[in-house]
């Protein structure tokens, strides 16, 4: 006889089994915002455990990089405009630093996101939580490092005559969103592939090695147009990193100059939408690849 109640076994037997990798993807990350915050805090604590400077390294690393590039390119190679060098870029320091902090945000995000699944294998093997949390939290940690550098850029721009308008604010936000989407998409892609093929880490290191040079961080877009021609320049512009850096130049550097060569033609009306679409396409590709591969993460790790 039964007392009208169903046992836990009977209840579970009526539930459909769900195959691994068939969750809601990034939607589950949004629903697990509390876990995301915990992971970001954990990563920050681990990264600066035993460090004397702690978060001050956020300023030291880009500062040293900026000084090295500025002296080598701005002073020795003459990219800084001066009374004796009219062929350089005016206010090259702001131009250089605005590109450096954005590319550093991308490189740090992608590097840590690629290794995030492998580095958190202990958690993945013990408990279930949306695995996308790990690459996404890596991007968030990099954003924590990015915004203090952005504050320095804003202060430096204000001292050099920066008076932003609505268009500058929109382009700055668009550049940041573009890089965040691109880093998340590539982080999901390489983070999942890296579980099966550890060569992915070396491939990503190669990509990051040239990331600073494939965008107009150190040089002007006009140099690319003059050397490559309009057809190849259009191909060059398809890189979301290129568009994002030009957005930051348009937002922070261009208002501090008078009579500078300006931004590429149709930056806001054409290239910003193109960059956002390309970044979104890479995000969808990364999410699709991640969901296809995450079913065997625990076994492979």
Q: What is the pLDDT of residues 241-289, one digit of tens each?
A: 999 999 999 999 998 887 566 788 899 999 999 999 999 999 999 999 9
Helix pair 240-248, 272-293: axis angle to 10 deg: 130
pLDDT digits (tens, 9 = 90+) for 15-40: 444 555 556 778 878 887 888 888 88
Residue 179 pLDDT more than 90? yes
Q: How confident is the model at residue 131 (pLDDT cuts 50, 70, 90)?
A: confident
pLDDT at 89: 84
Task: Please tell me the predicted confidence (pLDDT) of residue 74.
Answer: 83
How many angstroms separate the CA atoms of 301 and 285, rounded? 23
Q: Look at residue 12 and tell me whether its pLDDT is greater than 50.
A: no
Q: What is the pLDDT of residue 47?
A: 76
pLDDT in tens, 39-57: 888 888 887 776 666 677 7
Give the pLDDT confidence of 93-124 residue by residue, as tens digits. 999 999 999 999 999 999 999 999 988 888 88
The rounded distance, in Å, linking the Cα atoms of 194 and 234 is 32
Cβ neighbours for 105, distance < 8 A, ≥ 6 positions apart: 142, 143, 145, 146, 176, 179, 183
Question: What is the average per-residue pLDDT within 127-136?
Answer: 86
Rounded to a whole number of angstroms, the CA Rg of the chain reads: 23
Determine the pLDDT at residue 25.
Answer: 75
Q: What is the pLDDT of residues 182-219, one digit of tens each?
A: 999 999 999 999 999 888 899 999 999 999 899 999 99
């Amino acid at each position: 006889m039964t007392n009208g109640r169903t046992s836990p076994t009977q209840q579970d037997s009526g539930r459909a089994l769900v195959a691994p990798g068939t969750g809601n993807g990034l939607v589950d990350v949004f629903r697990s915002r509390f876990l995301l915050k915990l992971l970001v805090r954990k990563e920050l604590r681990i990264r600066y455990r035993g460090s004397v400077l702690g978060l001050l390294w956020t300023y030291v690393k880009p500062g040293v990089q900026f000084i090295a590039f500025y002296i080598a390119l701005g002073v020795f190679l003459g990219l800084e405009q001066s009374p004796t060098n009219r062929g350089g870029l005016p206010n090259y320091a702001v131009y250089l630093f605005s590109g450096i902090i954005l590319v550093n945000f991308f490189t740090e995000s992608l590097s840590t996101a690629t290794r995030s699944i492998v580095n958190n294998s202990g958690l993945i093997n013990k408990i279930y939580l949306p695995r996308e949390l790990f690459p996404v939290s890596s991007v968030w940690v990099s954003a924590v490092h990015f915004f203090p550098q952005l504050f320095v850029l804003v202060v430096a721009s204000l001292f050099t005559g920066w008076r932003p308008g609505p268009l500058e604010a929109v382009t700055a936000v668009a550049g940041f969103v573009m890089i965040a989407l691109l880093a998340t998409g590539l982080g999901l892609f390489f983070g999942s592939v890296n579980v099966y093929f550890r060569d992915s880490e070396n491939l990503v290191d190669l990509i990051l090695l040239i990331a600073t040079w494939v965008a107009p961080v150190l040089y002007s877009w006009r140099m690319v147009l003059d050397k490559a021609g309009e057809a190849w320049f259009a191909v060059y512009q398809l890189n979301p990193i290129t568009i994002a850096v030009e957005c930051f130049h348009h937002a922070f550097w261009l208002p501090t100059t008078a009579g500078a060569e300006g931004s590429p033609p149709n930056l806001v009306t054409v290239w910003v939408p193109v960059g956002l679409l390309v970044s979104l396409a890479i995000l969808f590709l990364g999410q699709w690849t991640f969901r296809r591969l995450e079913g065997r993460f625990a076994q492979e790790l």
